[in-house]
Chain A
Amino acid sequence: METILAILVGFLFAISVYLLLSGSLIRLILGVFVLGNATHLLIFVSGRLTRESPPLIDKGLKIAEVGIANPLPQALILTAIVISFSLFAFLLVLSRRAYRTLDTVDTDEMRIAEPEPDTQPMRGRDV
């Protein structure tokens, strides 16, 4: 099961890298989204998978007798999901604002903050 999930994680990473290499904001957002989910799955797998045994230890025992599910990765994923969800929401709003203000979703055309240099730094207008 871990092998299958590991392959799936790799597949998702490949998809997200493909999307992130694009110049379109829409694809970038999707790429970040897929990357986040692939990472959550990675955390899940790195905690090892145990089926159908809740993380409860019988009374009087210090450690569980049978292998139990690892609760920590689930807590980590929960945190990561909340964070990536809020950041994803921000990115959506930002991209929409950027599209309406800059009138493009192509990152190559976003050159307002970094325009092509029109003056040499040494030379002023009339030095």
Chain B
Amino acid sequence: MSDMAAWLLVWPVAIPLIGSALAIALWGRPNAQSAIGLIAITLQLVASLALLGHVWTNGPIAMSMGGWPAPFGIALAADTLGAGLTVAASAVALAILVYGLADTNIEQRRAGIIPLLLALMMGVAGAFLTADIFNLYVWFEVTLISSFGLMVLGGRREQLDGAVKYAFLNLLATTLLLIAIALLYGMTGTLSMADLSGKVANLPDDAPVETIALLFLVSLGMKSALFPLHFWLPAAYHTPLPTVSAIFAALLTKVGVYSLLRVFMIVFPDGGEIAREAMVWIAVATMIVGALGALAEADIRRVISYTVMSGVGVMVGGLAIGTELALIGTTFYIIHSIIVSAALFMAAGMVARAGGGTRIGDLAGLYKGAPFIAVAFLISGLSLAGVPPLAGFWPKVYLVQAGLQAGEYAIVAGVLASGFLTLILVGRIFALVFWREATDGARVTAADTASTSSANDSTLLKSALGALAALTFVIGVYSVPVVDMSSRAAAELLAPEAYIEAVFQSPAQTAAADTDSAEAPR
């Protein structure tokens, strides 16, 4: 592997960092910031595609920062899972940014949405690409602090209320993660995930591996909104701007699930029996509670918040089964969920524009004035429920098959039941909000408000939503690339030797010292 190739790892993290810094330097000039945001996210997408291409042909790569050889240095590393999720995240972020440029007004952009969004993308890419567990914590905090800023942008009463719960509970979760990392370091003396992989397996029998694994499950489970630690998500996700809700729903919980995959497949490939046992039931409970919670809500955005949680249950269900087939399902589902969660929150934001609110009972007949939103919502919603031939169908096929093979019938039942409940939810929203005749004259329909938003904005909003809805359709019909990628990712998770070897042989880049100190202050 050439040294140059390893630099591919740096760019998905460095580009948003540079973009964010430039955008902060141009504070108060929202148009320049918007241009920087678009360029930075596009470049991030290109860089992560290049990274995925390299990983696809050459296997996992790693790069040690500051010239310190592994396991002493902090390494960035990418396998198919990390690179693939970076691609998915930056692609969806691009759509969300386009949406956001039309959806936010000049005041909101002046308040700094672009630099915060770029900082968030830096944190997400960093979390996907780091090979060091303390560095993972740092990226979590980078993501968290930028999400705090995005959360309160606008400063409405409702937002502050949601932000209080979001901030306290997420901060608690990352502190618990730090405690777990500290205890793990105390036992093994290393922080490199590749090094931990071997050392945890060789610990003496009386080492509290189970306790630490459970602590990881609790802290990362809280970050990914697993039952019963999910309360912050439905309390907060419906309050910020639609753009912000979309990016939160698309990315934040997935970073938690990704970290669970990393920790339980690479750091504790064997240990953590109690945590794995618990994970089965936690996953099933998350699926069902999420779907039931959504059923009880009367506001579209809150319904979608609960379905995000239900989806997290499905992903963790695959991890709990732990076979190759199940991990294929989980990886595919993460990618599908990134796309669809963003699309649904975008659609909800457009419903609010067209219909003047998001309460299901207050809306009717939107199909007449806004057929585009209706169709895009229906496609995304059916994909979420797992209706063939949309993208959400295939990961569920893999998970159900894996569950039947492994004898984990509870997870099979959970996946099917939550899919069924989601179908009811989507059908109900579609029937009431879009399909029902608007009999009451007081109801605002899209035709009345169409004139208030400029045609240009509406094109941008539609193209962003349309792109994601089309993506979930295309992935469903032509699922081979994503299945291939998920299969490779699952195989690498089950046999992480190549990943570990890549980290230990990572070229020591002395020139990278500056980049490192800027990205990950230690």
Contacts and interface: CB of A to CB of B under 8 A. Distances in A.
A97 B175 contact: no
Nearest to A44: B182
Contacts of A123: 361
Contact of B175 (A28, A39, A125): A39
Given A91-B171, A119-B298, A83 B141 contact: yes
B440 interface: yes
Interface stretch (B162-170, B373-381, B405-413): B162-170
Nearest to B303: A121
Contacts of B439: 126
A90 interface: yes
A4 interface: no
B418 interface: no
A127 B165 CA distance: 34
A28 B162 CA distance: 16
Contacts of B295: 121
Contacts of A54: none
B367 to A, nearest CB: 16
Contacts of A80: 178
A35 B440 contact: no
Contact of A121 (B186, B296, B436): B296
B297 interface: yes
B238 interface: yes
B120 to A, nearest CB: 15
Interface in B155-186: 155, 157-165, 167-168, 171-172, 175, 178-179, 182-183, 185-186
Interface stretch (B105-113, B144-152, B463-471): B144-152
Interface string B200-240: 00000000000000000000000000000000001110110
A94 B521 contact: no
B164 A107 contact: yes
B168 A125 contact: no
B161 A98 contact: yes
Interface in B105-146: 134, 138, 141, 144-145
Contacts of A45: 186
Given A46-B183, A94-B167, A86 B158 contact: no
Interface in A77-114: 78-80, 82-84, 86-87, 90-91, 94-95, 97-98, 101-102, 107, 110-114
Given A25-B164, A101-B160, A127-B361, 14 more contacts: A36-B175, A42-B183, A43-B185, A73-B185, A83-B141, A83-B145, A94-B164, A98-B161, A107-B164, A110-B161, A110-B164, A114-B235, A121-B361, A122-B428
Interface of A: 20, 25, 28, 32, 35-36, 39, 42-43, 45-48, 72-73, 75-76, 78-80, 82-84, 86-87, 90-91, 94-95, 97-98, 101-102, 107, 110-114, 117, 119-127
